Amino acid sequence: MKINEVSKQIIAGIAPIFTKHGFNVDFKEREFNRERNGCIQIFDLLFYKKGDIIEIKPEIRIKIKHIEDIYHHISIDHNDIYSSLGNDLFSIVDYYDNGREIGGSSGTKWIVRDKNSIKKLIKVIPKYFKREILRYFEENSSVARADELLNKYPREISIHNWLYPMRACLAIIAAKLNNNHRYDELVSIYEEELEEALESYKQDFINLKRFLSKNV
């Protein structure tokens, strides 16, 4: 089996449920995306060849333009923001089913061994779309939700963005934009958490504080 052939079959097979809700299909990037309320909502399928099998990591991402535009404006070295909010699908399922909000990616993947595996995924992915994927997009595509989710446990790895220290920078932007009354406290917490971070991230945080104090 080749990744290109498998990815095209799966994406084409599940496309109807996504396009029905306004998502665009991108076969090249192997993703579905749509814009809502100043956000880009993305469902990715990441394919990996492992011997005779193919592994697929499904990811849910929300890119909040207002937050990311500010970070792009001040950052020198870290302009490639993967997402404002999101994680792999199975971590999001865990969040909804068990209330897990702390921790990184689950690392769980689907495995394709043959044509039957492809058929099963074409049937099962729309079920996840209805239960978790669409729900996550519709509940969390806003600055206010980013503030709430990213700043709930500021000293812990957030299931909604486990890429630290990028999360600290995005979280503080969300807090400022949302007029979070804990803003000053959060700044102090993240400064402490960033003590061992790369100097470039520390400088980004300094630049952020300066920019937010003058422009937001």
Mark which of 141, 157, 181 sits at the end of a domain: 141
93 and 187 within one domain = no
CA angle 132/134/137 to nearest 5° reads 105
Contact by Cβ (8 Å): 43, 83: no
pLDDT digits (tens, 9 = 90+) for 74-105: 887 766 788 999 999 999 999 999 999 999 89
Please state, rounded to an integer, the average pLDDT across all residues of the chain: 95
One domain for residues 104 and 33? yes
- Examine residue 76 and state whether it is found in any structural domain, yes or no: no
**Looking at this protein, which amino acid is placed at residue 72?**
H
- The pLDDT of residue 144 is 98
Residue 128 lies in a domain: yes
- Residue 86's DSSP bridge partners are 61
Segment 30-41 shows an average pLDDT of 97
Count up the domains in the chain and report the number.
2
pLDDT attached to residue 79: 67
Q: What is the DSSP string of 20-69?
A: TTT-EEETTTTEEEEEETTEEEEEEEEEEEETTEEEEEEEEEEEEHHHHH
> Who contacts 118 (Cβ-Cβ below 8 Å, separation ≥6)?
6, 9, 10, 13, 112
Structural domain of 170? 144-215
> Mind listing the pLDDT tens digit for each residue in 10-29?
999 999 999 999 999 999 99
In a shared domain, residues 90 and 172: no
Please give the structure tokens belonging to residue 140.
């969390």
Q: Could you tell me the end-to-end alpha-carbon distance of the chain, in angstroms, rounded to an integer?
A: 52
Average the pLDDT over 184-197 and give the result. Answer: 94
Alpha-carbon distance of 135 to 128, in angstroms, equals 10
State whether 56 and 132 are in the same domain.
yes
